[in-house]
Homo-oligomer: A and B are copies of this chain.
């Protein structure tokens, strides 16, 4: 069992665990425990189950929906000390890591045997694998490698009654019954606590080609993606849409940024090809030239050096930061069928302008996955307060259209505390009932991370 050093009850020491990264949720747990191995996690969960006390798991505390923040009265189990890389198998392209490893530590362990672990997101230096798996994290390379779920071969999980399920298989094929790992991935700790995982590794890309492209419309971006894939297949490893407002905010607020192209354009794409395929730079150049001739592309620039590549990526990666400087906005993390992105942008824009004629739309995201970050505010801080007060009305417009077009109201951030009520409006009764049936079967006492997801 964990020693007294690893049970925190003192208020100042508890504080960092009690509030989420964005500062929107706070709750007071009974205590924080920091077990250092799976058996200790199991002992804590078992004791809580016996006492009827709820538990909340926490990794790097970088979640965006309050999924790892206590609602009050739980034992908070921090997985940070479960941070061993248990094994790396280059021949099998697999790595087994504990839940408290940071994403960066897993990437580094893979690189040390000349392999790639492709999950990549802004918080990777702090976010832990257990949290990445519990929220089925996405990021910038999903278009090629999939979400956290698709990168997982096996799991070790502490169940609600404290038993340990060892499902750490490093197999590409295993058809011996229900694939239980998928129950726990993306479940936000509500069905069990992930303590370790076996993950897929990939060859390191040998070459990268990166371009900033002005396109005539979101539809042209989708067409460009299709034509690139026809030429280089899955060597398209990033394909990010950036609207004019997003770019302008970055250029205005972030030092050492400059416009990558002459003139002003309404829609841009940051495209990156990478892989083992040769001549990616030439292939990308030819494809962009063809896009210009076909009328989809207005202008484009290819990175000619690693420094230029970083400069282009900085324009994409600083959008949220630049936007924050201007004040708060109503944010949406939505997914759509890739073929409906253009229609969504047109119809949502028109509907919002009908309600609020000077709404400012910041629209960017992972077009290859159909995932848009669609954030709304006013230019004038004075009138923005009134606008933010209209959040329920604005959300209804956006989410109703997302739903009509067959989309999702949470693409990659999860439900947590933020959207657990919102989702009730957009899922069928049958689906909600199925989810509750699964929850009741695996956590009959309802002690696993209560107040989240369901």
Contacts and interface: CB of A to CB of B under 8 A. Distances in A.
Given A91-B339, A186-B175, A337-B89, A170 B440 contact: no
Nearest to A145: B234
A381 interface: no
B175 A434 contact: no
Interface in A226-260: 226, 229-235
Contacts of A138: 173, 175
A335 B177 contact: no
A431 B171 contact: no
Contacts of A229: 203, 276
Contacts of A442: 434, 437
Number of copies: 2
B230 A175 contact: no
A204 B234 CA distance: 11
A431 B442 CA distance: 12
How extensive is the interface on chain A, given as a class?
35 or more
A187 to B, nearest CB: 6
B142 A172 contact: yes
A305 interface: no
Contacts of A234: 233-234, 275
Contact of A413 (B164, B175, B230): B175
B415 A177 contact: yes
A230 B206 CA distance: 8
Contacts of A166: 428, 430-431
Given A337-B94, A339-B92, A178 B173 contact: no
Given A93-B338, A176-B427, 4 more contacts: A177-B431, A177-B453, A179-B186, A438-B438
24 contacts: A89-B337, A91-B338, A92-B339, A142-B173, A149-B179, A159-B430, A159-B434, A166-B430, A170-B337, A175-B411, A175-B413, A176-B423, A178-B434, A179-B182, A180-B431, A182-B183, A203-B229, A203-B233, A204-B230, A233-B275, A233-B276, A277-B278, A278-B279, A437-B441
